[in-house]
């Protein structure tokens, strides 16, 4: 069953608290976005955060120095996903080791232009790969379908790797992600910013269920 993770993108603790309150009864696992204002233009989640234990969290670190956030907040989340693009091979391996020593799941995130083959050597150690279908940094960025092709490449290299698709996920784009082999999707604008997040989640699940029935025919 494909998982759906609403995202949390907050500039301060007050916005985190407001979003978490809004997400009660919507999902059990949330996708916590972190931007450092360097790797991506905007800064959010780049502080010592307080997260409710009502949820599990995947942290997506859009940062040039992920270890700084991990030291401050890593204990509060269950999965840590960071970007390889600004790091050297040695740094990527070192961050993965830090995350695994903390007992957390580890993942790498790929910008739309980053090829799946660039992380081949790290796949044996990874729990997740996050495939971005938007350019990272803000809600509502333009959806790109081409990055979905990476999923097949990743699955060929490591059949049991879990792939998360993040960016522009709505009922009308859900089908393409599922058909491409996504194990989970992230929805920010459609769910988190909806006036009625529970209704938005029902619409996504309905699209997901419809797609599952279609694939079984």
Q: Could you report the per-residue pLDDT of 116-174, keeping only the tens digit for each?
A: 999 999 999 999 999 999 998 666 678 999 999 999 999 999 999 999 999 999 999 99
Cβ-proximal residues to 2 (8 Å cutoff; 6+ apart), any chain = 177, 178, 182, 183, 184, 185, 208
Buried-exposed string 140-174: b where 16+ CB fall within 10 A, e elsewhere:
ebeeeeebbebbeebbeebeebbbbbbbbbbbebb
pLDDT at 213: 38
Joined together, the tokens standing for residue 133 give 């279908």
CA distance 2 to 22: 22
Identify the structural domains of the chain with CATH numbers, from first to last: 3-216 (3.20.20.70)
What confidence tier does 215 reach under pLDDT thresholds 50, 70, 90? very low
Higher pLDDT, 215 or 91: 91
């Amino acid at each position: 069953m494909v998982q759906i993770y609403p995202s949390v993108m907050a500039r301060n603790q007050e916005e985190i608290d407001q979003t978490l309150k809004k997400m009660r009864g919507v999902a059990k696992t949330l996708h916590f976005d972190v931007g450092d204002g360097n790797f991506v233009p905007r800064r959010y989640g780049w502080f010592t955060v307080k997260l409710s234990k009502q949820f599990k969290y995947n942290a997506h670190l859009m940062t040039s120095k992920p270890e700084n956030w991990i030291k401050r907040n890593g204990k509060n989340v269950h999965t840590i996903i960071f970007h390889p693009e600004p790091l050297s091979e040695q740094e990527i391996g070192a961050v993965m080791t830090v995350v695994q020593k903390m007992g957390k799941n580890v993942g790498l995130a790929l910008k739309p232009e980053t090829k799946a083959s660039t992380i081949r050597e790290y796949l044996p150690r990874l729990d997740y790969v996050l495939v971005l279908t938007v350019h990272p940094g803000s809600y509502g960025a333009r959806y790109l379908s081409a990055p979905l092709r990476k999923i097949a490449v990743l699955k060929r290299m490591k059949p049991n790797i879990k792939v998360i698709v993040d960016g522009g996920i709505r009922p009308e784009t859900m089908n393409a992600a599922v058909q491409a082999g996504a194990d989970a999707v992230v929805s920010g604008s459609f769910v988190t910013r909806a006036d009625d997040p529970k209704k938005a989640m029902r619409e996504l699940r309905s699209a997901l269920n419809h797609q599952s029935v279609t694939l079984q025919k």
